[in-house]
């Protein structure tokens, strides 16, 4: 469903045109800024609560000259307001955050006015990073299917990918309450391993940890055909603390026969219709840059086991995330919210044009550093301790819910 | 600034040869770490166990108090080298501003002086001499009180000084001490123990302090096995981990995460409302709200001369002024991220006009006051973020704080009038372990029943010597009447 608002329709057409052109650089800074400000003004006018938020911050929408000056809306605001440029009842779909940290009553909701914008935005970005050579391959997702998880934007995305990249071949292998459907998954893996064509396995770090633990225990080990690849997501939220990223990737290589250089992290969020990927596979945008000198000193692998290969630690530490041309990301000072110079750790903020129907300027809770071409997510440092003896909200809610 | 050496070993213990520089991502400066192995931890425990008899057991408790008092006074004495060293490192290592570090050092060290320790002993023991030998006691017996031979203290790091207090408590009951402080509380125990070694080398042989990153490590596991009693301060996760790794024969005293709140009654919302707001602001600002005694929410009664919304504005003004006297420490990026989310959500609520009022320090300071009309109550993300909840009457609100009962510790009160007794009684039944005026909130006295139990008694083992037997006659209890 799309909006009857002529301005929305016009902006939507412009965006879809960009999405389909699929090329980096087509939206240069000037063009991005123009489009971003048009969208921002449209959202201020059409989305009452956001407009009020912007005015509370003392910003006059028509006077903003650069997209960086737009007030970025914290994701927590998606928990308290229905943020859509038209009446929220008209949402084609409402995606919700998982609510693992804040309790079920306080899940964030992203009201999506026009799902076709999501479809159009997610496909080329996924293809660019996970199927840069083009073509089709089966897509196996360690996720619940959208019919079992209608709230999940990730499940929705992978169903689109299953159709578009897998042409229906593959499926979802997590049941509604979160367990891996081992029988069906193994049968599919067996069948695929016997063939010679590469496949794509996608899943959350959490589900992969689950799988490799079970696989280690009973010795389920697969050698997926050469050229297979893995998309791993959501490993940064501190849930599967038991396994460092290096350890997880080593386990994935053991379990699926997919080398580390073919494991790609996706960073996405319910509140954004665009996604960010690590340029890892040859031919993906920005992948050549991985070779250059953007790696930092001072990387300390305290969480890694003693068996860690130093080149592995260096390679993982040099990875970064990159968004599609219709997004821009900033790293902001956590108190002043002014942009930080490259290399300094701050709060990530994204401007996502694909969010036309809700709010495009979003302030996340994630930390990162700016690097050329994108940003590097900043995981929890080994040995970091919370400073409050009066407990964190997370501890507290875990205790009472 | 030079990096801080995060350990102090007993005099005579072989030096630990290697030092490791720990890079730090957030705002805390580097720290030099002892390169301890599990074997090294085991050797430390043997050494402490051996030293304890001469260093502590054979000396009267009064002598221990005197030595601790001498160190405390040096920490309080302007210009003393020990105080200078503590202040040089405390602010950066704890993530506090310099004035905050001075305030915290002053408040903490005051409680380590002779008078305060004497009152602590007197309130915990019927006769403090029981720590030196058997003394007559009620029930026709003699009593001897002694701490466990070697104790392991696992600090939390949120409030500097807390780990040192734990160390001193153990010394008073003549337990040798191995202390692993938390990251933010490394400086005071190391400096204090250095002071001990300077003042009384023999006594210092029963104390070791060493920091290593993370609570859940092989070194901690070794320490849990080396100690007769472990005292842990930390989050529920840390306490659970320690419980899971403790040998069956070892004892545990656990101080879990706690939080506080404030009750502001109508009677405080008249002429004194601004003064009460300043006291409340100070209770929030001290320790940058990281203490277990720090309030997270003020319940403010409607119907006074000053309404809750207006009182929230007074509180905001007071927090803003306190930034000059007691500036906030720098936020870590993660803390800043949480603060921005909280402010943003509240701004959205305010924009939706849900009766929410928001005041904050903007880009200059993290303090944030959120005035809300209804629950559910939520804990703060710390760093001077406080909620003001308007309530029709305080008695009626007691039921909803029930959901906090597992973590509730301190309730600060003002303006309860003659309802004080009734409310204190109901708070006691809810498990609250301290009710205090707002002005006293940040500084519980040393003899407070820490989380509901005697701070020294929790560390003690008693020996009853029933010298004359315990027949009813000898007890002085009349025989039962069977008629």
- Give A252-256 contacts, CB < 8 A, sequence gap 24+: A252/A208, A252/A212, A254/A212, A254/A216, A254/A221, A255/A211, A255/A212, A255/A215, A255/A216, A255/A220, A255/A221, A255/A222, A256/A189, A256/A201, A256/A222, A256/A223, A256/A224, A256/A228, A256/A230
Q: What is the mean pLDDT of residues B367-378?
A: 84
DSSP string, B229-290: EEEEES-HHHHHHHHHHS-TT-EEEEE---EEEEEE-GGGSSTTHHHHHHHHHHHHHGGGG-
Two structure tokens written together for A317: 């530490």
Q: What local confidence, expressed as pLDDT, does residue B213 receive?
A: 84
Q: Measured between CA atoms, how close is B469 to chain A, in angstroms?
A: 48
Q: What local confidence, expressed as pLDDT, does residue A395 receive?
A: 41
By CA distance, what is B216's nearest residue in A?
A: A383
Q: What local confidence, expressed as pLDDT, does residue A287 receive?
A: 83
A347/B159 touch (CB, cutoff 8 Å), yes or no:
no
Q: Measured between CA atoms, how close is B194 to chain A, in angstroms?
A: 25
Residues 6 or more apart whose CB falls under 8 angstroms from that of B75 comprise: B82, B83, B86, B105, B109, B112, B191, B192, B195
What does DSSP say about strands B434-437 and B408-414: parallel, antiparallel, or unpaired?
A: parallel
A389/B156 touch (CB, cutoff 8 Å), yes or no:
yes
Mean pLDDT, rounded, of chain B: 92
Q: Measured between CA atoms, how close is B199 to chain A, in angstroms?
A: 32
Measured CA distances, A98 to A102, A106, A181 (Å):
9, 10, 20
Nearest by CB to residue B333, choosing from A49, A334, A399, is A334
Q: What is the mean pLDDT of residues A387-393?
A: 38
Alpha helices (H) along A6-67: 6-21, 29-46, 48-56
Dihedral (CA of A329, A335, A339, A344) sign: negative
Instruction: Report whether the peptide linkage leading into residue B376 is cis, meaning its omega lies within 30 degrees of zero.
Output: yes
A76/B344 touch (CB, cutoff 8 Å), yes or no:
yes
By CA distance, what is A242's nearest residue in B?
A: B216
In whole angstroms, give the CA distance from residue B337 to residue A61. Answer: 25
List CB contacts (< 8 A) between B218 and chain A: none
Two structure tokens written together for B293: 């005694």
A346/B23 touch (CB, cutoff 8 Å), yes or no:
no
Nearest by CB to residue A389, choosing from B24, B290, B333, is B290
Collapsed DSSP state (helix, strand, coil) of residue A362: strand
Q: Measured between CA atoms, how close is A35 to chain B, in angstroms?
A: 25
Q: Measured between CA atoms, how close is A54 to chain B, in angstroms?
A: 9
List CB contacts (< 8 A) between B213 and chain A: 302, 382-383, 385
Q: What is the mean pLDDT of residues A149-167?
A: 96
Q: What is the mean pLDDT of residues B6-29?
A: 78
Q: What is the mean pLDDT of residues B417-438?
A: 95
B338/A365 touch (CB, cutoff 8 Å), yes or no:
yes
Q: What is the pLDDT of residues A30-46, one digit of tens each?
A: 999 999 999 999 999 99
Q: What is the pLDDT of residues B216-247, one digit of tens each?
A: 789 999 999 999 999 999 988 899 999 999 99
A390/B260 touch (CB, cutoff 8 Å), yes or no:
yes
Q: What share of chain B is helix, strand, coil (3-state, %, to 5)?
A: 45, 20, 35
Checking if the pLDDT of A398 tops 70, the result is no
A53/B23 touch (CB, cutoff 8 Å), yes or no:
no
Q: What local confidence, expressed as pLDDT, does residue A48 receive?
A: 93
By CA distance, what is A331's nearest residue in B?
A: B333
Residues 6 or more apart whose CB falls under 8 angstroms from that of B41 comprise: B178, B219, B222, B223, B226
C-alpha closest to that of A392 among B142, B166, B379, B133: B379
How many residue contacts between A and B have a Cβ separation below 8 Å? 173
Q: What is the pLDDT of residues A160-181, one digit of tens each?
A: 999 999 999 999 999 877 788 9
Collapsed DSSP state (helix, strand, coil) of residue A290: helix
Q: Measured between CA atoms, how close is B20 to chain A, in angstroms?
A: 12
Q: Measured between CA atoms, how close is A53 to chain B, in angstroms?
A: 6
Q: What is the mean pLDDT of residues B146-163?
A: 96
List CB contacts (< 8 A) between B292 and chain A: 389-390
A334/B335 touch (CB, cutoff 8 Å), yes or no:
yes
- What are residue B104's phi and psi, to 5 degrees? -65, -45
Q: What local confidence, expressed as pLDDT, does residue B129 receive?
A: 98
B290/A387 touch (CB, cutoff 8 Å), yes or no:
yes
By CA distance, what is B93's nearest residue in A?
A: A387
Nearest by CB to residue A52, choosing from B24, B184, B351, is B351
Residues 6 or more apart whose CB falls under 8 angstroms from that of A391 comprise: B235, B236, B257, B258, B259, B379, B407
Checking if the pLDDT of A306 tops 90, the result is no
Q: Measured between CA atoms, how close is B372 to chain A, in angstroms?
A: 14
A390/B159 touch (CB, cutoff 8 Å), yes or no:
no
Checking if the pLDDT of B413 tops 90, the result is yes
Checking if the pLDDT of B173 tops 70, the result is yes
Q: What local confidence, expressed as pLDDT, does residue B257 receive?
A: 86
- For residues A27 and B471, which has the higher predicted lDDT (pLDDT)? A27
Instruction: Please state the pTM of the whole predicted model.
Output: 0.89
A387/B184 touch (CB, cutoff 8 Å), yes or no:
yes
Nearest by CB to residue A334, choosing from B25, B156, B340, is B340
Q: What is the mean pLDDT of residues A9-35?
A: 86
Q: Provide the b/e sequence for A284-310 (b: ≥16 CB within 10 Å).
A: bbbbebbeeeebeeeebbebbeeebee
Nearest by CB to residue A346, choosing from B291, B333, B338, is B333
Q: Measured between CA atoms, how close is A224 to chain B, in angstroms?
A: 37
B296/A390 touch (CB, cutoff 8 Å), yes or no:
yes
Q: What is the pLDDT of residues B101-137, one digit of tens each?
A: 999 999 999 999 999 999 999 999 999 999 999 999 9
Checking if the pLDDT of A292 tops 50, the result is no
Q: What is the pLDDT of residues B284-333, one digit of tens each?
A: 999 999 998 999 999 999 999 999 999 999 999 999 999 999 999 988 88
List CB contacts (< 8 A) between B341 and chain A: 74-76, 363, 365
A365/B257 touch (CB, cutoff 8 Å), yes or no:
no
Residues 6 or more apart whose CB falls under 8 angstroms from that of A383 comprise: A302, B22, B183, B213, B214
Q: What local confidence, expressed as pLDDT, does residue A390 receive?
A: 34
Q: Which of A303, A335, A345 to mutate to test the interface with B (most CBs of B within 10 A)?
A: A335
Q: What local confidence, expressed as pLDDT, does residue A392 receive?
A: 38
Q: What local confidence, expressed as pLDDT, does residue B359 receive?
A: 97
Two structure tokens written together for A9: 């329709």
Q: What local confidence, expressed as pLDDT, does residue B337 receive?
A: 93
- Per cent of chain B over pLDDT 90 is 80
Tell me the ipTM for this assembly. 0.87
Nearest by CB to residue A391, choosing from B214, B332, B407, is B407
Checking if the pLDDT of A81 tops 50, the result is yes
Nearest by CB to residue B334, choosing from A49, A367, A382, is A367
- Per cent of chain A over pLDDT 70 is 83
C-alpha closest to that of B280 among B106, B103, B440, B390: B440
List CB contacts (< 8 A) between B343 and chain A: 74
Spatial contact of A141 and A104, defined as CB atoms under 8 Å apart:
no
Using only C-alpha atoms, chain A has a radius of gyration, in whole angstroms, of: 21
């Amino acid at each position: 469903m799309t909006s009857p608002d002529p301005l929305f329709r016009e902006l939507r057409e412009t965006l879809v045109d960009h999405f389909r052109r699929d090329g980096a650089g087509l939206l240069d800074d000037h063009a991005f800024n123009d489009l971003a400000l048009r969208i921002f003004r449209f959202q201020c006018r059409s989305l009452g609560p956001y407009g009020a938020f912007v005015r509370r911050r003392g910003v006059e929408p028509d006077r903003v000259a650069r997209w960086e000056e737009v007030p970025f809306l914290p994701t927590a605001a998606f928990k308290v307001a229905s943020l859509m440029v038209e009446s929220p009842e008209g949402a084609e779909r409402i995606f919700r955050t998982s609510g693992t940290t804040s309790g079920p009553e306080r899940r964030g909701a992203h009201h999506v006015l026009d799902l076709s914008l999501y479809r159009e935005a997610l496909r080329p970005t996924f293809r660019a990073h996970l199927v840069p050579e083009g073509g089709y391959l089966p897509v196996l997702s360690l996720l619940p299917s959208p019919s079992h998880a209608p709230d999940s934007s990730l499940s929705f995305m992978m169903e689109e990918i299953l159709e578009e990249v897998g042409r229906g071949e593959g499926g979802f292998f997590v049941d509604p309450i979160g367990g891996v459907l081992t029988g069906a998954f193994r049968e599919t893996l067996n069948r695929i391993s016997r063939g010679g064509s590469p496949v794509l396995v996608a899943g959350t770090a959490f589900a992969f940890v689950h799988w490799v633990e079970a696989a280690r225990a009973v010795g389920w080990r697969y050698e997926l055909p050469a050229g297979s690849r893995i998309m791993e997501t959501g490993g940064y939220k501190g849930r599967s603390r038991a396994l460092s990223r290096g350890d997880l990737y080593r386990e994935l290589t053991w379990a699926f026969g997919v080398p580390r250089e073919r494991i790609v992290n996706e960073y996405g969020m319910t509140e954004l219709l665009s996604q960010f990927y690590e340029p890892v596979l040859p031919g993906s945008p920005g992948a050549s840059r991985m070779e250059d000198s953007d790696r930092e000193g001072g990387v300390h692998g305290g969480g890694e086991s003693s068996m860690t290969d130093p080149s592995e630690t260096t390679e993982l530490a040099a990875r970064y995330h990159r968004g599609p041309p219709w997004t821009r990301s900033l790293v902001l000072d956590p108190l002043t919210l002014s942009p930080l110079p490259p290399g300094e750790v701050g709060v990530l903020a994204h401007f996502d044009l694909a969010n036309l129907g809700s709010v495009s300027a979003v302030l996340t809770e994630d930390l990162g550093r700016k690097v050329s071409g994108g940003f590097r997510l900043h995981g929890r440092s080994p040995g970091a301790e919370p400073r409050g003896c009066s407990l964190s909200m997370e501890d507290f809610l875990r205790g009472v819910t | 600034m030079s990096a801080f050496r995060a350990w102090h070993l007993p005099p005579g213990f072989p030096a630990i040869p290697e030092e490791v520089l720990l890079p730090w991502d957030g705002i805390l400066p580097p720290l030099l770490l002892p390169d301890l192995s599990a074997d090294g931890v085991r050797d430390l425990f043997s050494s402490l166990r051996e030293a304890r008899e001469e260093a502590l057991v054979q000396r009267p408790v009064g002598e221990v108090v005197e030595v601790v008092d001498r160190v405390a006074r040096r920490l309080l004495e302007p210009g003393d080298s020990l105080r200078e060293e503590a202040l040089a490192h405390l602010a950066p290592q704890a993530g506090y501003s310099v004035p905050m570090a001075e305030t915290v050092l002053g408040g903490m060290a005051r409680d380590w002086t002779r008078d305060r320790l004497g009152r602590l002993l007197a309130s915990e023991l019927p006769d403090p001499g029981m720590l030196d030998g058997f003394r007559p006691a009620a029930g026709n017996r003699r009593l001897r009180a002694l701490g466990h031979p070697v104790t392991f203290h696992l600090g939390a790091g949120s409030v500097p000084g807390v780990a040192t207090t734990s160390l001193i408590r153990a010394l008073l009951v003549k337990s040798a001490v191995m202390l692993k402080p938390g990251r933010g509380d490394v400086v005071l125990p190391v400096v204090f123990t250095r002071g001990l070694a300077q003042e009384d080398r023999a006594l210092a042989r029963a104390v070791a302090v060493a920091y290593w990153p993370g609570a859940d490590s092989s070194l901690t596991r070794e320490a849990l096995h080396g100690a007769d009693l472990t005292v842990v301060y930390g989050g529920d996760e840390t306490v659970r981990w320690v419980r899971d790794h403790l040998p069956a024969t070892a004892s545990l005293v656990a101080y879990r995460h706690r939080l506080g709140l404030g009750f502001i009654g109508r009677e405080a919302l008249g002429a004194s409302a601004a003064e009460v707001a300043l006291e409340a602001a100070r209770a929030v600002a001290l320790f940058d709200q990281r203490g277990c005694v720090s309030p997270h929410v003020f319940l403010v009664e409607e119907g006074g001369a000053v309404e809750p919304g207006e009182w929230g504005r007074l509180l905001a003004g007071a927090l803003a002024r306190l930034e000059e006297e007691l500036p906030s420490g720098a936020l870590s990026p993660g803390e800043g991220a949480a603060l921005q989310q909280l402010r943003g959500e509240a701004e959205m609520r305010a924009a939706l006009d849900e009766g929410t009022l928001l005041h904050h320090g903007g880009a200059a300071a993290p303090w944030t006051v959120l005035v809300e009309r209804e629950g559910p109550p939520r804990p703060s993300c710390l760093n001077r973020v406080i909620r003001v909840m308007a309530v029709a009457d305080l008695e009626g609100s007691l039921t909803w704080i029930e959901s906090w009962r597992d973590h509730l510790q301190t309730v600060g009160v003002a303006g309860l009038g003659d309802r004080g007794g009734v409310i204190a009684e109901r708070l006691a039944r809810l498990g609250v372990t301290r009710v205090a005026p707002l002005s006293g909130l940040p500084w519980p006295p040393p003899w407070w029943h820490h989380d509901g139990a005697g701070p020294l008694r929790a560390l003690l083992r008693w020996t009853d010597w029933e010298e004359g037997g315990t027949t009813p006659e000898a007890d002085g209890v009349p025989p039962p009447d069977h008629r």
